[in-house]
Structure 1
């Protein structure tokens, strides 16, 4: 049987103190969580398909939060759990976290949580480095394999990003179903294999296939890490800071990759004898070094940890009947395909926050990848710089991204001070992160105009002037991403991996398509015209964060996932308050207060 160190719910008493009423005050906590807020379509209203999708999202959210309630030790009315096909498991003991349980990731030491964060930062560099790794080496690959069509030149990056489109739609939900570690470790292992395949590619078609597979498996951390951070950081402030460090790391992979890919360039920084294949050998060496901390990454997903604990207790005592709540949930193929794997797409279609964030981040992300083709046109074609120096022109973008961190922390300090003094604005959820995007958006627009209209060598403007446009570019890019990715994570918590998978897939899709138009765009409009067009599109998207601040609370109220999360938090707090009152000897029922 379980030792005194485990918290087990068995035959919990009925906490009802009076007859059945509609009010949640007279209902058990888990019962309150189990009711999905399903709104039937009115005649002439939403289509049957849209109504079905919304209903499925409501049930999905309610079921997951009900499971989370059991993990936290909150009983249902009869201390029982619904299992497959509606059968009751009245004889099952449901294990849950104790208050202050050291095995709960929320209670891990600062050292252990920071080690997890550092591992995710090291891991994500592989994904982002791989995305643009061959950027400056493409002409030399094409020359070796006789590829002459200009339309094929963006394909080594585009095929990788195509993998980024499809991968997160699987890895994010799967990490919420089977745990973070198995998804991260297995996908990283396969990514390493396909990186090796790129280094040994015999021809252009095979190379493009290997790049696609690299992207598909490299995309797992993009989707899963938001869930990992939500797993180990319960406090929104600490979680936001962890996400800020993670997001700052993501930008350096793409920026360092063009420098690495100059290894074969006669005008670069390394000997021509090294060859373009060393671009991927260097990436493979870094992946090998990364594998050491990745293999030591602990599982962070609470349902999986509780399931392991319950299995260990049953193994120790075969007569025990201890189970985790997750073990009594449906885990069949039908549920996996219809509910789990469709979750990111359903969130894009039915969650206004997710779809708006996806649109904005997709454009900003695509413009970032367009710069890998735009910079050679500006600094090599206009200014006549060598490929090596052109690669260094990306570094101001990294500097701008680094500047985003102190701004993030400074705003965090201002917000906490306002919350302590009871400022009304500081209590609104949107003010926790979104104002950073309100600052970053205009900076991003200004940077594009700066780059486009200052690149005038014929007028005597030195290359350093457009190069310095990278500082507000990186700063704006980082503030937008830190604000909106954190906003998604805070808004969806348990479903953070799926929400971020939706955002990752959508922005990667646009980043595949839009860079293909870089050549024709800059060729027809020129540098100033092309940058002005991109700045105009970015200016239109700038309004999204302001709308969130204006109507964010109303938008979240209409969200199936956010509504269930808000209700869960209210029920949990009510249950905890009732438990504390009971311990103080109060005569009121736990939920009948």
Structure 2
């Protein structure tokens, strides 16, 4: 009995001690672990403590990385002092540092996991400071090289352990921004290091780069004494040691994956763990190679980029400034982080775990951007390309910078989320690859670029980047299986058990029940597989052909700008004002008839309406090739506007009846990117057709109209078989697929594909809806810019001093860039559901571009302005149509609203076609100023205003302030409310 009382008393003492220390026993009672509310656990520290510790660690990483990136610049200055060639100098200053860092990447992470992180940070910063001063002070080349090796070894600590520290202190949702901030800082350091060292070297000499480094890192070492140890397993060991002392029970064991090893075991297991992870874990291997390649590319650029820009006339100091463009690549990454945050919040609300594969959007975008940026840059620089303004080359560098940020952020986060207990070791394997490749690339750069030339060398790098494009999809579909098979990959991210909030009010569930479920009884995984296959089928059947139709449409309405360059005005004896009137008349008929076309589309069916109008406008286009005077041209242009009026609003409405609101934007963006491709393709085509001048007694401009009109007629006839009807009537769908499409739309609170009889009430409801008018203002701002740009860009480029054919060809790259950005913004807006923010961000590019056209004097800078102008205008059109469609519900109301919005926007083509006047050549100040005003209206008068109003309305609906709208209504009456239903949440 006494023993029993003793055991009870001992247990009570243990429970009291556990509660006081914020610990608890595991359910089996064998181990001691952290309690969820323990304030000593790093994830429960206060925000100020976390900010100080992480901020200081990331600063240390920034500065040591910047000094590493300074090596190539210092090497070019030091080679004369040591009488060595450039390759050997780069090896001493860059490669030795990176190789030593690679060794540190293997040694330090396991040590930090077993013995703690703080002491490593303090010691490494102090050593880095001392050896930096040694490099600066010693005259011997051997001692200097030894100093670079030792500083490289010390720099491995912040480089590889910072991710482990972030994982210690923050959960998965918080890490989205922390890992991003860390990668922004690290990549900015690589970008700014050459700039910083270039100016220090020019003013004070290369040794002062390292004197200053020693002073800064020495001060950081002192501040690091104030951080706390953050390794949870080590802290738990300390807590259990205290518990043993308090309770007298020496048998207590902590739940700790990191037992302190013996030296032999530490060497065998700990030091080799990163290498083991690299060769046995496919995820670690793939992430390491991709991240290593992208970072090594930066180091290759530190050696080769200044040489390229010196060949373009830059001085030695200024040749490092283009790195800033790469550094600014973090700006679009902010939008991607918002997407990640939205996904995390949604899964949190749904009570679902946040899987590592849920945060791969950035790398999915970054991989193609890296390849595109490298290809673009490869053929925008000497020797193949001459007399291109340097500003134009910064755009692909910006793309490359964005991709490198995404590679670093997403891959680091993916490893941290997949290998949380061994995050530092997994990241060490990544850093090992980064260090070896970073040591290698700068060595091969001089010989590769001198032997092959910059254009071919960069093209080889671009080809290598293409191999990364499929990797994100492999991770998405097979990543979870790979993690489940791994003994290192442990998944324990924090999620809260939350009650799901039902905003539906039951109405859309009732409508969903109206459709038979062909997949009843299947698992969620099987349903998802069927849904992906269905979506792919819809994409292949609908989007490519409709995009081709819009390419033809935009080509036909804007080719008059290309015809002008091959003497249309001269041959028809037109003045500048008469030419502008010919442009204007198109928009009069186009805008007047647009609001009515969607009603006709619904009545006649898309498979009949769209092919008929195509054939008719193809006939009008051919007739333009046979006119002999201005009056004839005016008449044909009026009918061209009438016949083309139904395509754009019709297809926008048609696609919205097939896809969910979260899927519509990227499809609309792909469709509208055809307009940008038309501008690109149109310039090439017009340049080729114009060579037929004199054939058959027709001028070159006449052949442009005749041949392009003939192509339109042929495609229009084919469209009778290639354009399909609405989901409930589409012939290419099986009965089960038809039901699946209708159920998908019903689950998204849409009824736009269902049968509905036209009533004038829908017309008046659209007129009374404030969103119709804000949409008209937004689209007015976007469309006014679009037509001004597309109609006059060949003329603008021609007035920059380029010949007619060259002006046609130089109009191609801005349109190509616009097409890429349009699709990317569509993808981002679909994922984030933040269409308003996307509108406001892209318009900043357009504002910057037209400000350059207004203010810049050199032809190159103004040509660069056309790039930014195109990239700011074209994405806004598709995104605005998607935004409008997302927020209007009901078959006819959506069609009427889109007609009003698009019609009013196109009416501004009347203004756009008259703002670039002949008397304003060559600066076109009134034209550029008007477009700039349109962009400001788009930004503030439309997008920002609608965003604020929609956000306020969503808040009221979530609070239940609009629930009274459905009182006393039966289910059919509730459905007629459309987007006025209290449970309809607007897309922001």
Which TM-score bucket, shorter chain as reference? 0.7 to 0.9
Aligned equivalents of 1:554 and 1:371: distance in 2?
37
1:433 corresponds to 2:372: no
Equivalent residue, structure 2, for 1:4:
16
> Separation in 2 of the partners of 1:134 and 1:109?
39
Q: Kindly indicate whether residue 238 of structure 2 is the aligned counterpart of residue 308 of structure 1.
A: yes
Counterpart of 1:511 in structure 2 is: 438
Aligned partner of residue 117 in structure 1, secondary structure = helix
- Give 2:402's match in structure 1, choosing from 463, 475, 482: 475
Q: Is residue 219 from structure 1 mapped to residue 168 from structure 2 by the alignment?
A: no
SS of the residue corresponding to residue 278 of structure 1 reads helix
Residues 518-533 of structure 1: pairs in structure 2 closer than 5 A: 518-533=445-460
Q: Relative to 1, partners in 2 of residues 1:333 and 1:371: Cα closer, same or farther, differing over 3 Å?
A: same
Cα distance between partner residues in 1 of 2:218 and 2:471: 41
Matches within 5 A, 1:524-543: 524-543=451-470
**Distance of aligned partners of 1:416 and 1:569 in 2 relative to their CA distance in 1, 3 Å threshold:** closer
Gaps of 5+ in 1: 10-69, 81-93, 575-593
Q: Is the 8 A contact 1:120 1:246 kept in 2?
A: no
Structure 2 match to 1:358: 288
Equivalent residue in structure 2 for 1:452, among 361, 374, 378: 378
Mapping for residues 329-478 of structure 1, pairs under 5 Å: 329=259, 331-380=261-310, 382-417=311-346, 420=349, 429-456=355-382, 459-478=386-405
Corresponding residue for residue 128 of structure 2: 191
C-alpha RMSD of matched pairs (Å): 2.9
Distance 1:403 1:328 in 2: 39
Q: What is the CA distance between 1:233 and its match in structure 2?
A: 1.0
* Cα 1:332/1:419, change in 2 over 3 Å: closer
Counterpart for residue 200 of structure 1: 137
**For residues 475 and 410 of structure 1, do their structure 2 counterparts lie closer, same or farther at Cα, with a shift above 3 Å needed?**
same
Give the Å deviation of 1:485.
Answer: 0.8
How far has the Cα of 1:211 moved from its partner? 0.5
2:477 is the alignment partner of 1:547: no
State whether residues 243 and 486 of structure 1, in contact with CA within 8 Å, keep that contact through their aligned partners in structure 2. yes
CA contact (8 A) 2:23 2:35 kept: no
1:177 to 93, 110, 114: 114
Contact 1:263–1:279 (8 Å) recurs in 2: no
Q: Distance in 1 between matches of 2:364 and 2:90?
A: 36
User: Deviation of residue 140 (structure 1)?
Assistant: 2.2
Whole-angstrom distance in 2 between the partners of 1:406 and 1:244: 11
2:939 alignment counterpart: none
How far residue 73 of structure 1 moved from its aligned partner, in angstroms, is 3.2
Which SS does the other structure have where 1:335 is aligned? helix
Q: Give the TM-score normalised by the residue count of structure 1.
A: 0.75
Corresponding residue for residue 244 of structure 1: 180
Report the secondary structure of 2:195's partner residue.
helix
Q: Provide the C-alpha distance between the structure 1 equivalents of 2:258 and 2:343, rounded to a whole number of angstroms.
A: 45
Query: Residues 362 and 286 from structure 1, CA distance in 2 versus in 1: closer, same or farther, beyond 3 angstroms?
Result: same
The 1:96–1:260 alpha-carbon spacing in structure 2 relative to 1, beyond 3 Å, is: same
2-side partners of 1:140 and 1:475: how far apart? 30
- Which residue pairs with 2:194 in the alignment? 258
**CA separation of 1:165 and 1:328: change in aligned 2, threshold 3 A:** closer
Q: Which has the higher contact order (CA 8 A, sep 6+)?
A: 1
Residues matched between the structures, number: 484
By how many angstroms is 1:476 displaced? 0.7
Q: Following the alignment from structure 1 to structure 2, what is the Cα–Cα distance between the partners of residues 72 and 383?
A: 67
1:301-337 Cα distance to aligned partner (Å, 9 max, x none): 1122123234445667878776645599452112211
Per-residue deviation, residues 475-533 of structure 1 (Å, max 9, x unmatched): 11101211111000000111100000010011211111122110111112211111110
**Is the 1:437–1:481 contact (alpha carbons within 8 Å) kept by the matching residues of 2?**
no
Deviations 1:235-271 (A, max 9, x none): x111222111111111122222212322465xx4x3x
**2-side partners of 1:478 and 1:177: how far apart?**
30
Matched, 1:299 2:219: no
**Who is 2:623 aligned against?**
none
The question of whether the paired residues in 1 share the 8 Å contact of 2:333 and 2:362 is answered with no
Give the SS at the match of 1:286: helix
TM-score (norm 2): 0.46
* Rounded Cα–Cα distance in structure 2 between residues aligned with 1:477 and 1:201: 36
- Using the TM superposition, give the Cα deviation of residue 203 of structure 1 relative to its aligned residue in structure 2, in angstroms: 1.8
Query: Partners in 2 of 1:439 and 1:191 — Cα distance?
Result: 37
Partner of 1:498 in structure 2? 425
Q: Deviations over 1:88-138 (max 9, x none)?
A: xxxxxx653233111111211222222222122212113211212232121
User: Are the equivalent residues in 1 in contact too, given 2:198–2:317 (CA < 8 A)?
Assistant: yes
Which of the numbers 16, 21, 25 marks the counterpart of 1:73? 25
**Pick from 220, 224, 227: which aligns with 1:290?**
220
Name the CA distance, whole Å, in 1 between partners of 2:23 and 2:36: 12
2:208 counterpart (246, 254, 278): 278
**Partners of 1:401 and 1:477 within 8 A in 2:** no
Contact 1:117/1:246, CA 8 A, preserved across alignment: no
Q: Aligned in 2, Cα 1:319/1:540: closer, same or farther, shift over 3 Å?
A: closer
Q: Contact 2:183 / 2:405 at 8 angstroms: preserved in 1?
A: yes
Say if 1:310 and 1:322, in contact at 8 Å, map to a contact too.
yes
